[in-house]
A = this chain, B = another copy of it.
Amino acid sequence: MNFKSDNEAPAHPAMIEAITQANEGYAAAYSEDSWSRDLDGRFSELFETDCRVLPIATGTAVNSIAIAELSPPWGAVMCHQLAHIHTSENGAPEFYSGGAKLVPLPGENGLLEADRLARAIDAAGRHGVHNVKPSVVSITQATECGTVYSPAAISAIAAITHERGLHLHMDGARFANAVTSLGCTPAEITWKAGVDVLSFGLTKSGALGAEAIVVFNHPEWIEGMERRRKRGGHLLSKMRYVSTQLLAMLDADLWLELGRQANARAAELARGIENSSNVSMAIYFDPFVANNFDPGAGD
């Protein structure tokens, strides 16, 4: 068993197959091919609502393009202090947004807490133009500690977010783990609970490199996201090879099956750890989880 990262495992054979099948004949370039054009419809079915989808090859790009669209350059992005966007993306959200500030908040087990979030937002912007402007709340589902937000927890965070005029982003690098672990529908922990944009990650699930920005209820954000994708060098000329992976993951709910398998392996691992060591239990291990900038937080 490899302890280090989902990123080191080989891709699922269905991904190779999908790419092989997509490699037939000419297809329109730059995401105008039929695979890419099918994404809106297929994801709308999955999420039981009209949504818009941008295929992209990496999670860092998906997160950063989404956040940059939701926050002005002078925005504050409220997130957990262990959030991948804060600790492990080398400032990509700052780069794409033109210098927004990530505001890391403490919280048990990697979870953002609604009350603390409300206080932080209210404190952060109270001096107007002298402060960055709270603009986005970003939560990770499942979190960097392997915990999950329940639909109710997300709704509480969304209420605080929207009441104050901010937008809610979900980093779903391990969205499959969350859905299968909660036994809920994708809709229940996204737009039904108030999520505006989801970074839907399928690379850790077993794709070679396939992620998607999924936008709920805000078609007006698409143009900016498409511009940022191109400008960031993420509009692949041959996007069909990414889109076909996304579609293949949805076929027969492969992504859910892989999510369940990953959870089972993690639980096994956790039981082993619990029995034998003083490492605190977590569903899985992210090599970067511990990179909390502030050594004083735990004092």
Given B28, B88, B119, which contacts A8 in the complex, CB threshold below 8 Å? Answer: B28
Give this chain's copy count: 4
- Shortest Cβ distance from residue A147 to the other chain B in the assembled complex, whole angstroms: 18
**Number of A residues, CB within 8 Å of B:** 93
- When the two chains form their complex, are residues A58 and B124 in contact, meaning their CB atoms are under 8 A apart? no
- Shortest Cβ distance from residue A201 to the other chain B in the assembled complex, whole angstroms: 10
List B contacts of A293 (CB < 8 A).
76, 103, 120, 123-124
Residues of chain A from 37 to 87 with CB closer than 8 A to chain B in the complex: 56-62, 64-65, 72-74, 76, 87
Max count, chain B CB within 10 A of own CB: residue among A90, A107, A297: A90
- Binary interface encoding of chain A residues 112-132 relative to chain B, with 1 for a CB under 8 A from any of its CBs, else 0: 000010011001101101111
A90-B129, A234-B58 are contacts. A295–B99 as well, Cβ < 8 Å?
no
The interface of chain A, by Cβ under 8 A from chain B, is: 2, 4-5, 7-11, 13, 16, 19-20, 23-30, 56-62, 64-65, 72-74, 76, 87-92, 94-107, 116, 119-120, 123-124, 126-127, 129-133, 203-204, 208-209, 224, 226-228, 230-238, 241, 287-288, 291-297, 299
